[in-house]
Amino acid sequence: MAFLAEVPRVIAFALSAMAATLRSREALADTAEQALSLTRRCLVPVALVVGPVGAMLAMQSLSLTRMFGVERLLAPLLAATVVRELAPGFSAVMICFQAGAGIAAELGTMRVQEEIDALDVMGLDPRAMVAGPRILGAAITGPILNAVAMLIGIFSAYFAAVHLFDMPQGMFEQTMWDGITITDLWISELKAIVFGLLIGSVSATFGFFTTGGPAGVGRAANRTVVATVILVLFTNYLLNTAVYGATGGGVL
């Protein structure tokens, strides 16, 4: 894997960019702006992906729980799956697709149009001005989108189960909270912050060091998407094992 060779560079660049950003007042203002713009760009894609997936999950698990005659377990299982896995996982994948590729493309364009070199020549630190705010912005966007994804995922699962497949409404509403605790919600948000930070770091680094004209910009965006998606899914697995233990922690 060629990506593994990039790990030291990503870590070194992302840390120095974030440190440079935290020292500068203007860069912090840029960070807020970036967070807002990334959230706005990702909101609709996240909703359009998590919604269908939640409904699909409800449909398939309903056929499974009806097979075993344990329809009562459906709502807690759905809620637990959405909060623990689906919302952080899919919102992170959509951040990779939308924000990750976007950041890489933006920074790549600045690089090939020599805007970054121009900043350098003027004695301004391009890491603090363009890279750092995007990394930190992605870390702020992660938990916001995750919260939205949790709401949408549970609501669309509820809608599919109750309104399309005749599950008793009261049963869903009363048992739903058995599957999740407030701690689960916080863990989910924490995961989203980590994912945002990872996506921001990788995409900013890949974009910042783009070479080779317009085709190079496309290539940087492409590499970013692939690397971040794989990174997010494996980190998700490692984080789950670390938090819930090797057996995943019982839901009920």
Partner 1 sequence: MSTVSLLVKERLLDPVLEVLSTALFGFRALVVALRFPYPGDVIALLSRLLITSIPVVMAVAFAAGAMLTVQAAASLSLIGGGPFSGTIVGLGGVREVFPLLAAAAVAARTGAEFASALGAMRVSQQIDALEVMGIDPFRLLVAPRVWACVLGTPFCVVVSNTTGIVGSFLVGVLQLGIDRGSMWQHLMMSVHIGDLTTGVFKGAILGFLIGVVATREGFETTGGSKGVGRATNRAVVRSMIAVCLASLMLTYVIYGKQVLG
Hey, what are 200's tokens? 């921001």
CA angle 97, 103, 104 (to 5 degrees): 85
Considering only residues 180 to 239 of the shown chain, the ones binding partner 1 according to CB under 8 A are 213-222, 225-226, 229-230, 233-234, 236-237
Hey, what are 186's tokens? 């916080």
CB of 55 to partner 1, least distance (A): 6
Considering only residues 79 to 138 of the shown chain, the ones binding partner 1 according to CB under 8 A are 80-81, 84-85, 89, 93-94, 96-98, 101-102, 104-106, 108-109, 112-113
Q: Would you report the helix, strand and coil content of the chain in percent, each value rounded to 5?
A: 90, 0, 10
176 contributes a contact to partner 1 by CB under 8 A: no
Hey, what are 240's tokens? 């789950």
Residue 18 or 73 having the CB closest to partner 1: 73
Find where tokens 């003027």 sit: 122
Label residue 12 exposed, middle or buried (CB < 10 Å: 0-12, 13-18, 19+).
exposed
Distance CA 97, CA 99 (A): 6
49 contributes a contact to partner 1 by CB under 8 A: yes
Binding site for partner 1 (CB under 8 A): 45, 48-49, 52-53, 55-57, 59-64, 66, 68, 70, 73, 77, 80-81, 84-85, 89, 93-94, 96-98, 101-102, 104-106, 108-109, 112-113, 164-166, 179, 213-222, 225-226, 229-230, 233-234, 236-237, 240-241, 244, 246-252
